[in-house]
Amino acid sequence: MGGIFLPLTGYKSQSHPTKAQGPNWLARGARQSKGQVGRARENHSEKKLRKRKEMKKTKSANGLIEFTIPGKPPRATGQMRKAVRTARGVRFYDPPHVAAARKTLLEGVKVHAPEAPLEGPVKLSCTWAFEAQRKKDCGTWKVTRPDTDNMQKLLKDVMTLAGFWKDDAQVAMETCRKVWTDEPGIAISVELLN
């Protein structure tokens, strides 16, 4: 959770201890600060829960799952894996920015996963909405990197981990769109094909 600043509310700095505070004044101050950080973390987790509830989610009896993951879509793709040669052979790994993108996507899709993995052929439709730098670009197609096939690969790998299906080879039909918008996010629709 590096990089997240949790402000300590009601913090009073103590520059010099007084004799009345005794030798453990610093320890008491540390305990107080830890309590304040704990409350701040609770507020942070409440915000996460609220954000998850805000995600649009619809499930119907015919195997249709639709939801939206709000926020900036990750620009890292499944193609960005690295390899390193070791004494035992070649080992593949995700660079830190790819691992962070994978984690972000997994957190977004995991809450929408079905109780049991879907069986049979599946149709996957995605709209990747990137934040437009200029207002005139809103609603237009995004024709710059990352490529749709590489973004989809990372998303399908994450959805396999989340339990949407047993294998991403089940995706028999797929549509993907990249657009500029003022409300970034990823709109995902998964449907069983009959």
184 burial type by CB count under 10 A (0-12 exposed, 13-18 middle, 19+ buried): middle
Per the structure block, which two tokens stand in for 107? 């957190």
pLDDT given for residue 169 in this prediction: 94
- Bridge pairing between strands 185-192 and 122-131: antiparallel
Query: What is the spatial distance between Cα 95 and Cα 27, in angstroms, rounded to a whole number?
Result: 40
pLDDT given for residue 134 in this prediction: 93
pLDDT given for residue 12 in this prediction: 37
pLDDT tens over the chain, length 194 residues: 344 333 333 333 334 444 444 444 334 444 444 455 455 555 655 655 555 444 444 454 567 999 999 999 988 765 556 566 778 887 766 678 788 888 999 999 999 999 999 999 999 999 999 999 999 999 999 999 988 988 899 999 999 999 999 999 999 999 999 999 999 999 999 999 98
C-alpha distances (whole Å) from 65 to each of 6, 105, 118, 140 are 35, 16, 11, 26
- Determine if residue 87 is left, alpha or beta; phi over 0 gives left, psi from -120 to 50 gives alpha, anything else beta: alpha
- Structural contact between residues 181 and 142, judged by C-beta atoms closer than 8 angstroms: no
Query: What is the spatial distance between Cα 188 and Cα 131, in angstroms, rounded to a whole number?
Result: 17
pLDDT given for residue 141 in this prediction: 96
C-alpha distances (whole Å) from 17 to each of 13, 125, 192 are 11, 63, 68
Positive/negative CA dihedral, 134, 135, 136, 137: positive
**Residue 184: which of 108, 130, 139 has the closest Cα?**
130
pLDDT given for residue 78 in this prediction: 57
pLDDT given for residue 49 in this prediction: 52
| pTM summary value | 0.65
